[in-house]
Amino acid sequence: MNIKAMTLPEMTLALKELGQPAFRAKQIYTWLHKGVRSYDEMTNVSKELRSKLAQEYPFYPPEVVRRQESQRDGTIKYLWRLADGNCVETVLMRYHYGNTVCISTEVGCRMGCAFCASTLGGLVRRLEPQEMLDQVLFTQVDSGLPISHIVLMGIGEPLDNMDHVMRFLELVNSADGMNISMRHISLSTCGLVPKIRELAEKKLQLTLSVSLHAANDDTRNEIMPVNKAYPTEQLLEACRDYYKITGRRISFEYAMIHGVNDSEADARLLLKRLKGLPAHMNLIPLNHVEESPLKPSTRAAVQRFQKILEDGGVPATVRRTLGGDIDASCGQLRRKYNQEHQDR
Ligand code: SAH
């Protein structure tokens, strides 16, 4: 196992086998979770042990391939190269409540949503737990800004990589690591119903975000192929149960697409179907993706939609777009880079 994917108890065992006491494991764990780039930075560990560790447990921090900083709002977008040459994106957003990173969970995605740039090349592979952790660590190290919040809303479908995502959450939440509270973490899914049910049983304090984008099955089938496997009724049923089991209110994402899902009738149907389910709606004006004919809704349509929901008792906010000047939405930077370097 990669040493950075180990929990502290696992690392303690691994180091015991090298004849090391428990406190040493804790020192090393703390260093790794500060974002050192090599064992040589661990100044309170003997040279001998450092070279032994480098041999037995090598680790490979990601390299920054591109870094774009918004002149408008300070949003920073990173494109990282992983040890095997694949690239993923991370976005750092500076909100009043704290610095938030949006991380990727897979290289590419196999969910096929019609409006999303991340899925255009399909799924290459799932990320390892330490590759998710590294995005948080090295964004913090590079930017010099303390990270307090995480959203799993970058490239990939987190619930299609459940085991690694769960381990990542444990690592990033650990008291001897970054100690990021579960309440400061949001996990977004396109609606893998069995996995939502599995997640509910774990009773985590994180916020579950569900990418709904349409309340009507015909529309949702068209823009989100996952709906053919798990239609909206099953999905909303799973959401109701999720709330019952965890007591956590679900946050829904709704990308507003001109002429597709933004009519008054769409808003009314949505209200009807959300009845009795404590929810928060995040309305996101669609980010235009070059390869797609879909266009964002007009401002007026977004406001009308929001008002219908609010009047019906469902809190709805229009997501402020950050980093508009740096292609800061999902998958666009990786896509551009891959097209320029035709190899992946
Ligand atoms: N796979 C997960 C998380 C990654 S995407 C999911 O589907 O939820 C994070 C959010 O961005 C999702 O709600 C997704 O539907 C949305 N999204 C993707 N492409 C978009 C675009 N072009 N414009 C607006 N939102 C988009």
Look up 89 and say whether it is catalytic: yes
CA distances from 240 to 71, 233, 243 (A): 41, 11, 5
pLDDT tier at 289, thresholds 50, 70, 90: confident
Dist. CA 246–CA 198, nearest whole Å: 12
pLDDT tier at 163, thresholds 50, 70, 90: very high
Look up 222 and say whether it is catalytic: no
Residue 306 pLDDT > 60: yes
Q: 35 C-alpha to center of ligand 1: Å?
A: 28
Q: Given ligand 1 and candidates 253, 281, 322, which is best to mutate, with the most ligand atoms within 8 Å of its CB?
A: 253
Residue 39 pLDDT > 50: yes
Residue 14 pLDDT > 90: yes
Measured between its terminal Cα atoms, the distance across the chain in Å is 26
DSSP state of 161: G
Residue 343 pLDDT > 50: no
85: its two tokens: 């040459």
Is pTM, for the whole model, over 0.85?
yes
**Mean pLDDT of the chain, nearest integer:** 94
Among 338, 244, 326, CA closest to 287 = 326
- CA 117, 123, 127 angle in degrees (round to 5)? 105
Please list, in sequence order, all residues whose beta carbon lies within 8 angstroms of the beta carbon of residue 320, skipping any fewer than 6 positions away. none
Residue 282 pLDDT > 80: yes
Which amino acid, 56? E
Strands (E), the chain: 63-69, 76-81, 87-95, 98-102, 106-108, 123-126, 147-152, 185-189, 207-211, 250-256, 279-285, 316-318
> Atom 5 of ligand 1 has which residue's CA nearest to it?
153
Distance from chain centroid for Cα 276: 28
Please list, in sequence order, all residues whose beta carbon lies within 8 angstroms of the beta carbon of residue 276, skipping any fewer than 6 positions away. 240
> Which whole number is the average pLDDT over 51-73?
96
67-119 tens-digit pLDDT: 999 998 999 999 999 999 999 999 999 999 999 999 999 999 999 999 999 99
| More confident: 263 or 337 | 263
4-13 tens-digit pLDDT: 999 999 999 9
87: its two tokens: 């690239």
**pLDDT > 90 in the chain, percent:** 90
Beta bridge partner(s), residue 211? 253
Residue 344 pLDDT > 50: no
Residues with CB under 6 Å of ligand 1 are 113, 115-116, 153, 157, 188-190, 211, 253, 255, 284, 286-287, 289, 329-330
**pLDDT > 70 in the chain, percent:** 97
Dist. CA 108–CA 283, nearest whole Å: 24
Cβ count within 10 A of residue 85: 8
Beta bridge partner(s), residue 255? 284
pLDDT at 28: 98
- CA 80, 163, 277 angle in degrees (round to 5)? 100
Is-contact 194 204, C-beta < 8 A? no
Dist. CA 258–CA 83, nearest whole Å: 40
Torsion angle defined by CA atoms of residues 105, 106, 108 and 111, in that order, rounded to the nearest 10 degrees? -80
Catalytic residue among 89, 106, 131, 253: 89
Dist. CA 171–CA 57, nearest whole Å: 18
Distance from chain centroid for Cα 257: 22
pLDDT at 101: 97
Dist. CA 157–CA 148, nearest whole Å: 22
> Which whole number is the average pLDDT over 143-150?
98
Q: 36 C-alpha to center of ligand 1: Å?
A: 32
Q: 2 C-alpha to center of ligand 1: Å?
A: 30
How many Cα neighbours within 13 Å face the side chain of 166?
Answer: 14
